[in-house]
Copies of this chain bind each other. A is one copy, B any other.
Amino acid sequence: MNKEELKNLLSNVADGSVSVGDALVKFKAAPFEDMGFAKPDYHRAVRQGIAEVIYGAGKTPEQIVSIANKLLESGQKTVLITRMSKEAAEYAKEHGLDFTYYEVGHIGIAGEMPKPDTDTSIVIATGGTSDIPVAEEAALTAEALGNRVNRLYDVGVSGIHRLLAHSEEIMRAKVIIAIAGMEGALASVVGGLADCPVIAVPTSVGYGAAFGGVAALLSMLNSCASGVSVVNIDNGFGAGYLASMINHI
């Protein structure tokens, strides 16, 4: 059932020709397969419009390779593997998985990296260089989902001119991801300059009273700028995924 079929089904539900219950049953018919240790959800791509993602943390290299292969076999063109350790990447290479490993962002892309399918782009800004791993997780996620990405790294607010030099890109963006640790002020300044949704990602960069990202998280939740929302600490994937959703509207 592709997205068109899904829309038809829902239209039928709307005009009463199909009951909600029946629709649910049809929809649920083949949504997941029990692999013992996991129930990969082949329909998520249908329901949510994107490729399947394997969250690599807490999975063995064997499990990652096995799920990735299953997804590729089921017709998935791009499989995004997040939080993939170097060890898992080496294992996957040795066991013949067709994929590219991006070490900084701990991302693996099995299958092919898609071409951008929109003209607009996602701006990803970081406060410092230590935030780049999270930024790359976001950027590669967005690219794997068919987006153009504009990277603005190390433009933290303690040297505000570095950020202002990019004012135009910020004012023109369709959606922005602002990534910062320590005091997380980047989100507020970007939010004040921008005219589009800003997704703030606190990072665990910092020490002492940074409390592993809590200071940045609280700062971003309390942003005095409008249009800013927040995802979990270090959640580059979540930000890239959501930005892609917005960029594809």
Q: Which residues of A contact B (CB under 8 A)?
A: 10, 13-14, 19-25, 27-28, 31-32, 37-39, 41, 44, 47-49, 53, 57-59, 127-130, 132, 153-162, 164-165, 167-168, 171-172, 174, 182-185, 187-189, 191-197, 199, 202, 204-235, 237-239, 241-242, 245-246, 249
Contact = CB atoms under 8 A, between A and B. Distances in A.
B196 A130 contact: no
Contact of A41 (B10, B53, B162): B162
Nearest to A127: B224
B58 A224 contact: no
25 contacts: A22-B22, A31-B159, A37-B132, A38-B129, A39-B154, A47-B171, A47-B195, A48-B194, A53-B226, A58-B205, A157-B185, A157-B192, A160-B160, A160-B192, A183-B219, A183-B220, A185-B188, A204-B208, A208-B212, A208-B233, A209-B214, A210-B232, A228-B242, A230-B230, A230-B231
Nearest to A202: B208
Contacts of A216: 222
B24 A192 contact: no
Contacts of A230: 221, 229-231
Given A208-B204, A208-B235, A225 B168 contact: no
| Copies of this chain assembled into the complex | 8
B129 A37 contact: yes
A239 B26 CA distance: 34
B209 A217 contact: yes
A245 B221 contact: no
Contact of A226 (B154, B172, B238): B238
A14 B209 CA distance: 40
Contacts of A184: 183, 185, 219
A41 to B, nearest CB: 5
A177 to B, nearest CB: 11
Contacts of A32: 159, 162
Contact of A28 (B161, B226, B233): B161
